[in-house]
Structure 1
Amino acid sequence: MMKTFTLISLVFLASLSPLHAQVSIGIRGGYTLSATQIKNAQGYKSNSIGTSSQLKNLHADLMINVPVYKAIYFQPLVRYITKGAYLRPLPTKPGTLVESANQLTLRYLEVPMNLVVKFPLRMGKIVAGMGPYVAYGLGGSYDLDLMYNGDVLSTNSHSVKFNYKDRGIAPGTQLNRFDAGANISLGIEFNNTMVLGANLSRGFANLDRTSSAKITNSYFSVSLGFLFDREDY
């Protein structure tokens, strides 16, 4: 599946070349705050972005600008990103041992596909847009606490095995490798070819393959980078 996803991405990027002679390419990197929302039938609910559950990490982007019509552009990204969260302990009963994940990290190759509008300024352009994204899970890990009467007895780290019956986040959980959702973006393209951007992403695909819970990703990111050229030069 990874080879298929990579091939599709390469074909997608190659297909952009004939669309317009002034397609521009850039690179960015930055800071990510992510959260993984989990809701199950037992009433467990993890927190979202803006709370203590958010996970801090980095991301890297390949950015492409494709002129569509006047100030409207198609701006896809190829993004390497780590999503996940710090998770609250599962509820425990007195005198029982419980396994509970306290940290989840999931590494993805993600392709946001935004339609953006560029507003000219003296210092450059304001860029605002939105669109869907698809993502392919490369791997991940989780820390699993063994708890007794609410106290942590031991903690072990495990690898996430997509599409495989894994006992990590909750007993019997199976995670889907693919993620999908929508995002909005806002940024500035400076006249010196530097770019600054922010992105808010919300996953709609349920990552739980067993249908026993609803697991979705979300994140907020800030990026800084530069364009190799400008399509309006």
Structure 2
Amino acid sequence: MTGRSRVMNPKEPYIKRTIQVHLLQHNVKRMSKFFTLFFLTLLISLLPLHAQVSLGLRGGLTLSATQIKNSQGYKSNSLGTSSQLTNLHADLMINVPVYRRLYFQPLIRYITKGAYLRPLPSKQGVFVESANQLKLHYLEVPLNMVLKFPVSLGKIVVGAGPYVAYGLNGTYDLDLIYNGSVVSTDSHAIEFNYKDRGIAPGTQLRRFDAGGNLMVGIEFNNLMVVGANLTRGFLNLDRTNSAKITNSYFSLSLGILLDREDY
């Protein structure tokens, strides 16, 4: 029996890549529809409970960091360092009584995450591109279970839960470095698709983020609320898997309850 050698079509790698891109776009559309359906279902399910549910609005300060670690040894810093980025967030807060002091408290949060990234190692006589300031804008939904403890000035609130986030867009500054000095800086958009240039060679970001968070706060008798959140992302944002990229942030919030049906 004689064997036959297979002649590879030169367009085959391109065709495979095109198919992969179409599949990814299809999956993103499906996830976007799921995310929209989740919002609508959540809001509709709360309508019959209006007599028991209270809403609130709040906003505040966010200190964020984006941790990046790749196989070449590059590693960005975390919260509490010069790499952290200061931004703002805004929340729609929902309080749903569950049992006595236990409440379900989902949020719909617009937030900017990101960091100041450390420059890549430079080589003498070679131009190196390195991302600098990274800003990622998300629509985020923390799903917290909280306990509320009555005190004289209101209620002390502690809780925890997971979160999911949908990337809207973002920007980053790209430095051109030569012999350790920045020659020029250009700003680039992030659309969370294959058209993105990438914050590092071979690195592109996923649209979705997910993780967990801890929170503590006070609901005052005069309807004012203050709170603090510490959030850590568990999902690797690099869809090429050439690096490990995660988000984290600490936030301080100030706001007001629109009603007091849960009191």
- Does 1:135 pair with 2:165? yes
- Structure with the greater relative contact order (CA < 8 A, sep ≥ 6): 1 or 2? 1
SS at match of 2:194: coil
Q: Note the aligned Cα RMSD (angstroms).
A: 1.3
Deviation at 1:9?
1.0
- Does 1:159 pair with 2:158? no
Residue identity over aligned pairs, in percent, reads 76
The TM-score with structure 1 as length reference comes to 0.96
Q: Does structure 2 retain, via aligned residues, the 8 Å contact 1:142–1:168? A: no
Could you say which residue in structure 2 is the equivalent of 1:145?
175
Deviation at 1:4?
4.9
Structure with the bigger percentage of strand:
1
Gaps of 5+ in 2: 1-28
Moved over 4 A (4+): none
Could you say which residue in structure 2 is the equivalent of 1:204?
234
Letter in 2 for 1:67: P
- Does 1:108 pair with 2:117? no
Gaps of 5+ in 1: none
Q: Distance in 2 between matches of 1:222 and 1:6?
A: 27
- Residues 100-147 of structure 1 deviation map (CA, whole Å, 9 limit, x = unaligned): 001100000000000000000000000000000000000000000000
Q: Distance in 2 between matches of 1:103 and 1:7?
A: 34
Could you say which residue in structure 2 is the equivalent of 1:40?
70
Please, which of 184, 203, 216 is the counterpart of residue 246 of structure 2?
216
Letter in 2 for 1:191: N
Q: Distance in 2 between matches of 1:126 and 1:191?
A: 11
Q: Does structure 1 retain, via aligned residues, the 8 Å contact 2:210–2:235? A: yes
Deviation at 1:174?
1.4
Could you say which residue in structure 2 is the equivalent of 1:125?
155
Please, which of 9, 14, 17 is the counterpart of residue 44 of structure 2?
14
Q: Does structure 1 retain, via aligned residues, the 8 Å contact 2:95–2:262? A: no
SS at match of 1:16: helix
Q: Does structure 1 retain, via aligned residues, the 8 Å contact 2:153–2:221? A: yes
SS at match of 2:192: coil
Deviation at 1:232?
3.5
The TM-score with structure 2 as length reference comes to 0.86
Letter in 2 for 1:85: A
Deviation at 1:20?
6.7
- Residues 188-218 of structure 1 deviation map (CA, whole Å, 9 limit, x = unaligned): 0000111000000000000000010000000
